[in-house]
Amino acid sequence: MRVLLGAVIAMGPGKADLLEAIEISGSISAAAKSLGMSYRRAWVLVDTINRCFREPVVTAAIGGSGGGGAEVTPYGREILQRYRAMEARAVAAVARDIEEFSAFLRSRPE
Amino acid sequence: MRVLLGAVIAMGPGKADLLEAIEISGSISAAAKSLGMSYRRAWVLVDTINRCFREPVVTAAIGGSGGGGAEVTPYGREILQRYRAMEARAVAAVARDIEEFSAFLRSRPE
């Protein structure tokens, strides 16, 4: 599930995973590393998220030795929770359809 | 919504649109043109779909002047209908969440 703001993805699976990793590690660079993502890429994703929502989702202290820490704000945690709840509800709504649809699929692409 | 078979997207928004365009036009090249997609790209998508499902989804007569026609099989139409039904159910399930979530978004990225 992707939440679009015009052509920009405000929230999606990758951004949600990144926010969770920042919550756990308290750092954009550590979060990036844990997801096998470059720091630059993680920074761009965080910047995009922050530009899409009305209040800051991630706050970061830039610079310092090893870079400053970063944290997901309470506002950001609410967004993340709502996104995960939407995901779960959508999945639950189509659980039976997916089961039926699977019968049409091969076990792997031919 | 994307239906994955391993790492391969068996069905998703782009492939569903392509199948609908093939149904309407009776041709992969005309369908590709109507979606602003190269013939090569459309052909690869159709090939991927056909390799993911147990029976042919699109049948095509290759070659001839201007290329042969193509059609979505009854089996393919069933898959397309099921995919669209899943999409609609997922959207309906989160309609209220999306409305609430929208309040957190800016009107455009800052």
Report ipTM for this prediction.
0.84
Beta bridge partners of residue B8, listed in sequence order:
B5
- pTM for the whole thing? 0.79
Q: How far apart are CA A69 and CA B101, in angstroms?
A: 27
Pair B80, B73: CB distance under 8 Å = no
Residue A30, pLDDT score:
95
pLDDT tens profile B32-90: 999 999 999 999 999 999 999 999 999 987 665 556 799 999 999 999 999 999 999 99
Which residues of A sit within 8 Å Cβ distance of B?
A: 1, 3, 5-6, 8, 10, 48, 50-54, 75, 78-79, 82-83, 85-86, 89-90, 92-94, 97-98, 100-101, 104-106, 108-110
A89 with B101: Cβ contact below 8 A: no
DSSP B63-80: -STT---EEE-HHHHHHH
Which of A86, A104, A106, A110 to probe the B interface (max B CBs under 10 A)?
A104
Q: How far apart are CA A66 and CA A43, in angstroms?
A: 15
**Lowest-confidence segment of A29-33, A48-52, A106-110, B66-70 by average pLDDT:** B66-70
Count how many residues are written for chain B.
Answer: 110
- Give B-chain residues touching A93 at CB under 8 angstroms: 89-90, 92-94
The helix (run of H) or strand (run of E) holding residue A103 is none
- Give the phi and the psi of residue B71 in degrees, each rounded to 5: -145, 150
B43: closest CA among B56, B29, B61?
B29
User: What interhelical angle do B74-93 and A74-93 show, nearest 10?
Assistant: 140
What tokens does B51 get?
A: 């390799």
Residue A41, pLDDT score:
96
CA distances from B39 to B43, B56, B71, B74 (A): 6, 19, 15, 23
Q: How far apart are CA A16 and CA A10, in angstroms?
A: 10
Nearest Cβ partner for A101 among B3, B75, B97: B3
